[in-house]
Amino acid sequence: MKAVVYKEPFKVAVETVPDPQILHPNDAIVQITSSCICGSDLHMYEGRTAAQPGIVFGHENMGVIVEVGPAVKTRKVGDRVVMPFNVACGFCKNCLGGYTGYCTTVNPGFAGGAYGYVSMGPWVGGQAELMQVPFADFNCLVLPEGTDHEADFALLADIFPTGYHGTELAGVTPGESVAVFGCGPVGLMASYSAILRGASQVFAVDHVQARLDKAAEIGAIPINYDVANPVEQIKAHLGGEGVDKGIDAVGYQATAAGSSAVGGEQDEVPNIVLNQLIDVVAPTGALGIPGLYVPSDPGGVDERAKKGALSINFGQLFEKGIRLGTGQCNVKQYNANLRDLIISGRALPSFVVSHEVSLDEAPDAYQKFDQRVDGYTKVILHP
Ligand SMILES: NC(=O)c1ccc[n+]([C@@H]2O[C@H](COP(=O)([O-])OP(=O)(O)OC[C@H]3O[C@@H](n4cnc5c(N)ncnc54)[C@H](O)[C@@H]3O)[C@@H](O)[C@H]2O)c1
Ligand SMILES: [Zn+2]
Ligand SMILES: [Zn+2]
């Protein structure tokens, strides 16, 4: 089959790789109809992780089951399904607690597995024609038959639940004001989720104009951090007060004001968003941090950043009594309910999708999404 293979920093290629097989009675094989490119893929694409050449990318996968192992009981050939990016067993201690992002079965020696991702186990990515799904009864979320809402449902694999997770970690409740740093796909989904949860005002911070425009489209207040300090801009809207809740949808590759949209190590200030959030959230507020931070970053700006050690204004955090939550999204905690919001028409997250292209166009799409040019906000590949 054809698949998107990582070659070297800033290079992927579409190559022929072996077809996946049923290796265990609980497996299913899914023919992929949609697989999205994620900001998380860019960390590997840019050589900012330990990812080795040869890895097949793709953790945001949707398709139709074409084969099931003999132990698969509730999913069948022909089912239209979307898989959480987390690969999970459903029976380990963490899965039983709902923390499927920290499954201890699927990636021995580590808590957490994913398709097509460095350090996340042997699971081959779905930016390909076919994909093996282990524990298929647990990992395949069944969707309505047909082709309706393909782009909305594809976002259930990661970014819609992950943006929602940011609002859950921050405990966003009706009437609150929320600052969301980052208007990439995850940030836009966090802003959208905050609005779904009844936030009164959502401030969406970025410096890529096309992305700020999308935030404004859904009713958020766009804040361009190249124009002035975003904390001061947000407080000016609130008579000098801070926001109730804050969300970091940027992560460790945060860039300083005035940097190019493309970013790059020279522009990075890995702790800037965390410290601005501590500054902008009012006393007794809370922070949700779905943005990725890593314990090892070969391209880190200095020795401490290379180890993921950041300087955080913890004294200010303590003084203000701000709570925080972070980590991988446990997609399964949210995906069925978010699917039903799509079916009922109360949520249509696909406003974030800017480009839908064939698998063969993946190398070009990676490059443009990475450079944040031509309005590349979210790309779906259709094998
Ligand atoms: N926790 C999880 O389970 C999970 C899942 C998916 C993605 N992620 C992570 O979430 C983050 C966002 O993902 P994405 O797909 O939206 O990525 P993305 O790279 O497309 O978007 C990041 C955005 O942040 C903006 N940005 C950079 N510096 C900033 C700053 N100082 N202030 C405000 N905005 C700034 C960039 O311009 C960009 O638009 C990534 O770190 C990704 O790895 C986490
Ligand atoms: Zn993703
Ligand atoms: Zn498990």
pLDDT tens track for 320-342: 999 999 999 999 999 999 999 99
What integer pLDDT is reported at residue 198 of this predicted model?
98
Closest-approaching ligand to the CA atom of 156: 2
Tokens at 340, concatenated: 């039903």
291 lines ligand 1 (CB under 6 A): yes
Our answer on whether the CB atom of 294 is closer than 6 Å to any ligand 1 atom is: no
CA distance 285 to 7: 44
For residue 128, the model assigns a pLDDT of 98
Condensed to tens digits (0 to 9), the pLDDT of residues 275-290 reads 999 999 999 999 999 9
Q: Give the residue, by CA position, lying nearest to ligand 1 atom 28.
A: 254
In angstroms, the CA 383 to CA 368 distance is: 19
pLDDT over threshold 80, residue 269: yes
What was the pLDDT predicted at 195?
Answer: 98
Please say if the pLDDT value at position 259 is more than 80: no
The model's confidence at residue 374, banded by pLDDT at 50, 70 and 90, is: confident
Query: What pLDDT shows up at residue 262?
Result: 63
At 85 the pLDDT is: 98
Q: Give the dihedral of Cα atoms 347, 160, 11, 298; nearest 10 deg.
A: 150
CA distance 207 to 227: 9
User: How many CB atoms neighbour CB 174 within 10 A?
Assistant: 8
pLDDT for residue 107: 97
- Note the pLDDT tens digit of each residue in 151-192: 999 999 999 999 999 999 999 999 999 999 999 999 999 999
**CB contact at 8 A, 257 and 292:** no
Q: Is 161 in the pocket of ligand 1 (CB under 6 A)?
A: no
- What mean pLDDT is predicted for residues 222-232? 96
Contacts 24+ apart (CB under 8 A), 301-307: 301/265, 301/268, 301/269, 301/270, 305/252, 305/268, 305/270
Question: What pLDDT is recorded for position 300?
Answer: 87
Q: Going by C-beta distance under 8 Å and a sequence separation of 6 or more, which residues neighbour residue 21?
A: 29, 132
- Give yes or no for residue 329 CB within 6 A of ligand 1: yes
| pLDDT higher than threshold 90 for residue 149 | yes
What's the 48 CA to ligand 1 centre distance in angstroms? 14
pTM of the entire predicted model: 0.97
Q: Give the mean model confidence (pLDDT) for residues 76-85.
A: 98
Nearest ligand atom owner, CA of 97: 3
CA 171 to ligand 2 center in whole angstroms: 22
Residue whose CA lies nearest to ligand 1 atom number 43: 40
Which of ligand 1's atoms lies nearest the C-alpha of 261? 37
Instruction: Look at residue 117 and give its three-state secondary structure.
Output: coil
Is the CB of 62 inside a 6 Å radius of any atom of ligand 1?
no
Q: Are 94 and 103 in contact (CB under 8 A)?
A: yes
Average pLDDT of the segment spanning 33-40: 96
Mutate to test the pocket of ligand 1, among 99, 164, 186, 224 (most ligand atoms within 8 A of CB): 186
Residue 258 has a pLDDT of: 80
How is residue 51 annotated by DSSP? P
Point out the ligand nearest to the CA of residue 35: 2
pLDDT of residue 251: 96
CA distance 185 to 207: 14
Q: Is 271 in the pocket of ligand 1 (CB under 6 A)?
A: no
Q: Where are the alpha helices (DSSP H) in 123-184?
A: 136-139, 150-154, 159-170
Q: Is the pLDDT of residue 264 over 70?
A: no
89-144 per-position pLDDT tens digit:
999 999 999 999 999 999 999 999 999 999 999 999 999 999 999 999 999 999 99
Structural domains in the chain plus CATH codes: 2-158+330-382 (3.90.180.10), 159-326 (3.40.50.720)
Best mutation site among 36, 37, 40 for ligand 1 pocket (most ligand atoms within 8 Å of CB): 40
